[in-house]
Structure 1
Amino acid sequence: MALKRRTKISVSFSMSSMTDIVFLLLIFFMITSTMVHPNAIKLLIPKKATKKVEVTKFIDVRVTASSRYVVAGKWMGAENVEARLLSTFANSDKTVVKLRTDKNASTGDVARVLDIAESNGVKVILDIR
């Protein structure tokens, strides 16, 4: 007695479900990538200078790559910078800091000088060469 199967097993593979999954993943990644915002600092850069600043007295401050400071021609460490700048600011009302940094100077060292000047209401000019 020979029994035959009524249903045949197909050896072909349907790719339609696989392409659906690929398109769904593509749509998902396209939507999520547009929602990601990069962390950036918003800078307000002036378009043109309209006012000239008259400088009666300025202090040369240089920040080196080895975290040393040169204030008015004198070398000093980070602990003495604030006292030196504060004593100079007290002597004159129109003092301006002319800040020059080395290429490899630490951002924290530069920020220290900027913070001291800002807390005392002193203008800072960046000397870029």
Structure 2
Amino acid sequence: MNFRKTKRHAAAVEAASLSDILFFLMLFFLIISTLASPTAIKLLLPQAKHTQNIPKQILNISVNAQLDYFLEKEPLSFAGLEESLERYASAPAKPTVVLRVDRTIQVNELVKVVDIINRNKLQMVIATEKSN
């Protein structure tokens, strides 16, 4: 009997379709990560050379160029802002206030908000962008 040796073909995995799937997954996560922005209010922050990390319990206050006040993305009047900060100041765990103010705002308007924060004895950090 004459048995011929048959050549076995090696199994091949086509990687072209896998790379397409990985590309679409990466694109999906990049789009989703840009939508999950911590601050959805558009502001031009001032620039600073030194930066500092802040504690976990934070309270975001934003003031845009039209002098609209926001507390955690909720629009408030100036009087409403003061009332809300008084409630947070009476809480047992006082948060650190992160003040995000548009750089085109006059200093007088900034000082009004800082004064309210200081009257309620809350810690405050002013948000800036890192300069080049």
| Higher RCO (C-alpha under 8 Å, 6+ residues apart) | 2
Fraction of identical pairs, as percent: 18
Q: 1:87 and 2:87 equivalent? A: yes
2:25 is aligned to none
Alignment map for 1:1-129 (pairs within 5 Å): 55-129=55-129
What secondary structure sits across from 1:84 in the alignment? Answer: helix
The alpha-carbon deviation at position 94 of structure 1 amounts to 3.2
1:4 is aligned to none
The alpha-carbon distance between structure 1 residues 94 and 55, as it changes in their structure 2 partners (threshold 3 A), is farther
Separation of aligned partners in 2, 1:80 and 1:127: 22
The alpha-carbon distance between structure 1 residues 54 and 102, as it changes in their structure 2 partners (threshold 3 A), is closer
Contact 1:65 1:106 (C-alpha < 8 Å) held by counterparts: no
Separation of aligned partners in 1, 2:107 and 2:54: 28
Tell me the TM-score normalized by structure 1: 0.53
For structure 1, the 5+ residue unaligned runs are: 1-47
The alpha-carbon deviation at position 56 of structure 1 amounts to 4.0
The alpha-carbon distance between structure 1 residues 126 and 73, as it changes in their structure 2 partners (threshold 3 A), is same
* 1:63 alignment partner AA: V
Residue correspondences, number: 80
* 1:116 alignment partner AA: I
> Which portions of structure 1, spanning 4 or more consecutive aligned residues, are displaced by more than 4 angstroms?
none
Who wins on radius of gyration, i.e. which is larger?
A: 1
Contact 2:88 2:94 (C-alpha < 8 Å) held by counterparts: no
Tell me the TM-score normalized by structure 2: 0.52
Query: Cα RMSD between the aligned structures?
Result: 2.4
* 1:90 alignment partner AA: S
For structure 2, the 5+ residue unaligned runs are: 1-49
